[in-house]
């Protein structure tokens, strides 16, 4: 039996003996004084003694490894024999007297029964065994406290618990208990010993949790993962101090979020800079300002293509980050262990609040890998994600990841991992060579699909308004990219909900394949259409760099016009809209306004402009014939009036001089408070001129002017 269990068992035996001795003593006092005590009935006495006796009998008869220590076991067996004899006499009295006699009368009767049974001998034996068990319990408690102190110090020497907030408190508690036990080993100190047994349970459970934490941390420690950090040269004095003077980087550390991308040419010292930032105290100070009132934890990983597989893999990245975070914040280890438990045995939750020594050993055997090389990527990823998402985490994390150009493995997977971590409110990342990773992904795309891939990336880069395009738009572009006729655009007519969902699923797969995972569908909720966005904003930053932007443009068709493509795709989407939730997204003035004010004005002049006007006609025609639209022709033409599509408006008014007034739109009143007065004046002159020309050549005042002067 382990020490704490032996102390607890001895405590139960002492309470039984102490109660029995006091019962006999009370009988003596009643007999000598002739008084009758009125404070307790026979039923209560019997139940109390039975309550003391039952757990002691269970402990005394327990099989190995729960057997009592020999010095306690022999005394317990003899004492139990005497206690059972006394309990049998109480049972006899209980039956004879009906169970409702006062303690005084019970004791008198009890004494009369035991008069011939040498009660003095029983009392003497019980006292002797109580003293023996008291001394044994005191000795075992001292040994258990000594063991806990020794093993606690060993954990501290290992260095893994130096930051544990409970360590100093546990050491102090064990020292106080040691002093208390040394003074409680004398006869008559039963209450003190029993109280000490209860006090010993808490530090023992605390130690068991610390021990389990230590084994968990030890299982994560892979020596080879530190080699790259050690191999990176240290910077010369003050070489990189300048980076703290860059406002953008300093602001990101103290107030920013997401991913900060450090990019430089090969051999420029990025790894040395990253090592400097991760190790420097000034970085910690800036990050603590961001994390306040919490604490900022820094973890770093350095990919190395000359190292072991773990040093250039996503598994090595995950194991390094999880290990470093938990070493610096060991109080988060239980959260990590619960994650492991949820994966391995989801139906058997672990209670870390009452952790016995045997239970701790069992948890270690079932949840913690026996070697640092046996961790699985899925488990480590879940642990890191839970640390990123849990509101119970009282720290914030800054992760430095260096050398992504030396990573070997699934590049889309590592991009997705870093991108998802960068969305957490608890985590920010500083990443070097991220651009090289994105470049590697682009270059791995099959040349057969290079043109379509480049066009999709161009469209997403320029689709910069709040109502982003859904996945099916890009599928339509791929299938219909060379069809210019606005009246023959695919698909024709509305899609059913089933057709729409099927198209989206196909579109998601195609988008991932064509862009190497740099684009992804972002789902906003069950009632909202998904939108296509970059894996992370750093992808957009990378694609906008001069060299990459030039490279992407070179892969598209010579006549590809991204703004014309955006106009066309919106026309297709509006014409194929079906479900109300979908229409809520695309039938919006925001998107139509973007088409009129951002996309069409930037298309190549000439033939493309005529096509863009044709797509705008498709949108207007559909709105006119769709009763389900969120806005009607009045909104469409008002938005058009506020745009700068002078040529298009001129054509419309020349064909129908009541183009605006038929819907009750007064151009002058609408544009009275326009921000761009010059554009508003131009628009009014065009409308006035075309209105006059369309009246069979008669120079008459336009309806708008006539209404405003009436």
Mean pLDDT score, 29-40: 45
Which carries the bigger pLDDT value, residue 619 or residue 12? 619
Q: What is the mean pLDDT of residues 381-388?
A: 89
Q: Please tell me whether residues 380 and 508 are part of one structural domain.
A: no
- Which secondary-structure segment (H or E) carries 203? helix 190-220
| Six token digits for residue 590 | 């925001």
* Average pLDDT over the chain, rounded to an integer: 78
* Segment 295-324, tens digit of pLDDT: 899 999 999 888 888 888 999 999 999 999
Same domain? For 439 and 450 the reply is no
Residues 310 and 193 in one domain: no
Confidence of residue 277 (pLDDT cuts 50, 70, 90): very high
Same domain, 267 and 287: yes
Q: Are residues 323 and 432 in the same domain?
A: yes
Alpha helices in 313-433 (DSSP H): 314-328, 333-344, 357-367, 377-389, 411-421
Assigned domain for 425 exists: yes
Residue 362 counted as domain residue? yes
Mark which of 203, 236, 251 sits at the end of a domain: 203
Q: How confident is the model at residue 418 (pLDDT cuts 50, 70, 90)?
A: confident
CATH code, domain carrying 357: 3.40.50
Closest CA to 212 of 7, 365, 381: 365
Determine the pLDDT at residue 427: 92
The model's confidence at residue 40, banded by pLDDT at 50, 70 and 90, is very low
Give 358 or 666, the one with higher predicted confidence.
Answer: 666
User: 């090595």: which residue's tokens?
Assistant: 316
The DSSP bridge partners found for residue 531 are 522
pLDDT single digits (tens) 467-479: 678 888 888 887 7
Using CA atoms, how far residue 129 sits from 23, 47, 70, 190, in Å, is 16, 23, 13, 12
Kindly list the distances between the CA atom of residue 204 and the CA atoms of 137, 144, 155, 174, 368, in Å, as whole numbers in the listed order. 16, 9, 14, 9, 21
Higher pLDDT, 545 or 702: 545
- Same domain, residue pair 400 and 530: no
Lowest mean pLDDT among 10-14, 22-26, 45-49, 664-668: 45-49
The answer to whether position 325 is within a domain reads: yes
C-alpha 429/C-alpha 401 separation (Å) is 7
Distance CA(34)–CA(52), nearest Å, equals 29
**Structural domain contains residue 211:** no
Helix, strand or coil, per DSSP, at residue 369: coil
Q: Which pLDDT belongs to residue 278? A: 94
Looking at the chain, the whole-number percentage of residues with pLDDT higher than 70 is 75
Across 204-218, 275-289, 384-398, the highest mean pLDDT is recorded for: 275-289
The string of pLDDT tens digits covering residues 522-533 is 876 665 678 888
559 with 611, same domain?
Answer: yes
Report the number of distinct structural domains present in the chain. Answer: 4
SS percent in the chain: helix, strand, coil, step 5:
65, 5, 25
Distant-in-sequence, close-in-space partners of 68: CB < 8 Å, separation ≥ 6: 1, 6, 9, 59, 60, 62, 76
Domain identity same for 622 and 682: no
Interval 412-434 mean pLDDT: 87
**What is the per-residue pLDDT for 579?**
44
DSSP state of 41: B
Is residue 134 situated within a structural domain?
yes
Per-residue pLDDT tens digits for 128-181 = 877 777 777 777 777 777 777 787 777 776 655 544 556 667 777 777 777 776
Q: How many residues belong to the chain?
A: 710
Give the least confident one: 113-117, 407-411, 457-461.
113-117
- What average pLDDT does this structure show over 592-609? 87
Residue 41, by phi and psi: left (phi above 0), alpha (psi -120 to 50) or beta? beta
- The fraction of the chain above a pLDDT of 90, given in percent, is 18
CA-nearest of 77, 163, 686 to 395 is 163
> Same domain for 653 and 579?
no
Query: Which of 443, 460, 483 is where one domain is finished?
Result: 443
- Whether residue 574 lies inside any domain: the answer is yes
More confident residue, 494 or 300: 300
Angle at 343 between CA 338 and CA 348, to 5 degrees: 65
Angle in degrees, CA 180, 183, 187, rounded to 5: 125
> What secondary structure letter does DSSP report for 69?
P
Q: Is 79 found in the same domain as 185?
A: yes
Lowest mean pLDDT among 109-123, 480-494, 678-692: 109-123
- Residue 210 placed within a domain: no
Six-digit token string for 474: 């890009």
> How many CA atoms lie within 13 Å of 77's alpha carbon, on the beta-carbon side?
9
d(CA 317, CA 220): 12
Q: Print the domain residue range for 666.
A: 635-710
The verdict on 618 and 575 lying in the same domain is yes
What lies within 8 Å, CB to CB, of 690 at 6+ separation is 650, 653, 654, 657
Which residue, 362, 300, 368, is CA-closest to 333?
A: 368
> Which residue, of 631, 647, 669, is where some domain finishes?
631
My answer on whether 392 and 508 are in the same domain is no
Does the pLDDT of residue 425 top 50, yes or no? yes
3-state SS string for 223-250:
HHHHHHHHHCCCCCCCCCHHHHHCHHHH
In a domain, 215, yes or no: no
Res. 405: pLDDT tops 50: yes
Task: Please compute the mean of the pLDDT values over residues 548-552 and round it to a whole number.
Answer: 90
Euclidean distance between CA atoms 287 and 435, whole angstroms: 24
Residue 606 phi, psi (nearest 5): 95, -125
Q: In sequence order, what are the residues at sequence separation of 6 or more whose Cβ sits closer than 8 angstroms to the Cβ of residue 492?
A: 575
Which pLDDT score, from 0 to 100, does residue 132 have?
A: 78
Residues contacting 644, CB < 8 A, separation 6+ = 597, 601, 676, 679, 682, 683
pLDDT at 681 over 80: yes
């Amino acid at each position: 039996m382990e020490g704490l269990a032996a102390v607890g068992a001895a405590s139960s035996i002492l309470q039984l003996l102490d109660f029995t001795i006091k019962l006999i003593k009370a009988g003596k006092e009643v007999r000598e004084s002739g008084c009758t005590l009125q404070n307790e009935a026979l039923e209560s006495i019997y139940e109390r003694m039975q309550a003391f006796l039952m757990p002691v009998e269970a402990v005394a008869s327990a099989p190995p490894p729960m057997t009592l220590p020999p010095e306690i076991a022999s005394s317990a067996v003899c004492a139990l024999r005497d206690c059972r004899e006394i309990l049998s006499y109480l049972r006899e009295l209980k039956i004879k007297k009906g169970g409702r006699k006062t303690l005084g009368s019970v004791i008198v009767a009890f004494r009369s029964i035991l008069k011939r049974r040498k009660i003095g001998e029983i009392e003497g034996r019980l006292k002797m065994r109580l003293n023996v068990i008291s001394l044994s319990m005191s000795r075992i408690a001292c040994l258990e406290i000594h063991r806990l102190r020794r093993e606690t110090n060993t954990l501290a020497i290992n260095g893994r618990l130096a930051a544990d907030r409970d360590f100093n408190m546990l050491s102090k508690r064990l020292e106080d208990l040691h002093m208390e036990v040394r003074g409680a080993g004398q006869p008559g100190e039963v209450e003190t010993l029993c109280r000490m047994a209860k006090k010993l349970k808490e530090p023992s459970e605390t130690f068991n949790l610390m021990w389990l934490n230590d084994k968990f941390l030890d299982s994560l420690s892979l020596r080879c993962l530190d080699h790259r950090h050690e191999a990176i040269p240290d910077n010369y004095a003050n070489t990189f101090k300048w980076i703290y003077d860059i406002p953008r980087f300093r602001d990101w550390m103290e107030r920013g979020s997401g991913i900060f991308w450090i990019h430089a040419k090969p051999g420029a010292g990025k790894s040395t800079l990253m090592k400097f930032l991760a190790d420097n105290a000034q970085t910690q100070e800036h990050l603590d300002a961001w994390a306040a009132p919490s604490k900022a934890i820094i973890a770093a990983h350095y990919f190395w293509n000359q190292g072991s597989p773990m040093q250039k893999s996503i598994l090595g990245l995950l194991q390094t980050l999880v290990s470093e975070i938990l070493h610096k914040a060991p109080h988060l280890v239980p959260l990590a262990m619960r994650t492991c438990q949820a994966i391995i045995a989801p139906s058997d939750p672990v209670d870390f609040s009452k952790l016995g020594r045997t239970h701790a050993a069992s948890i270690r055997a079932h949840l913690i890998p026996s070697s640092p090389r046996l961790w699985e990527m899925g488990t480590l990823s879940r642990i890191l994600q839970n640390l990123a998402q849990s509101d119970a985490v009282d720290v914030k994390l800054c992760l430095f990841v260096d050398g992504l150009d030396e990573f070997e493995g699934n590049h889309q997977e590592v991009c997705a991992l870093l991108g998802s971590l960068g969305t957490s409110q608890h985590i920010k990342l500083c990443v070097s060579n991220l651009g090289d990773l994105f470049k590697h992904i682009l270059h791995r795309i099959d040349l057969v699909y290079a043109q379509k891939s480049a066009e999709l990336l161009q469209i997403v880069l320029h689709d910069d308004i709040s109502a982003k395009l859904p996945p099916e738009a890009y599928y339509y572009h791929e299938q219909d990219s060379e069809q210019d006729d606005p009246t023959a655009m695919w698909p024709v007519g509305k899609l059913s909900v089933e057709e729409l969902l099927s198209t989206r699923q196909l579109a998601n797969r195609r988008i991932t394949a064509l862009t190497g995972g740099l684009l992804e569908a972002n789902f906003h909720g069950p009632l909202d259409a998904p939108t296509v966005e970059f894996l992370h904003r750093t992808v957009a930053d990378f694609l906008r760099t001069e060299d990459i932007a030039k490279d992407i443009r070179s892969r598209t068709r010579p006549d590809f016009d991204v703004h014309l493509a955006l106009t066309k795709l919106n026309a297709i989407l509006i014409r194929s809209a079906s479900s109300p939730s979908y229409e809520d997204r695309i039938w919006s003035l925001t998107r139509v306004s973007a088409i009129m004010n951002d996309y069409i004005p930037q298309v190549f002049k000439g033939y493309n402009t005529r096509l863009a006007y044709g797509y705008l006609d498709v949108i207007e025609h559909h709105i006119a014939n769709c009763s389900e639209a969120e806005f009607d022709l009045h909104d469409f033409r008002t938005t058009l009036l506020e745009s700068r599509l002078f040529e298009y408006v001129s054509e419309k008014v020349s064909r129908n001089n009541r183009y605006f007034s038929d819907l009750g739109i007064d151009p002058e009143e609408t544009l009275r408070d326009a921000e761009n007065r010059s554009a508003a004046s131009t628009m009014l002159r065009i409308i006035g001129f075309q209105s006059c020309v369309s009246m069979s050549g008669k120079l008459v005042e336009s309806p708008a002017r006539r209404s405003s002067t009436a």
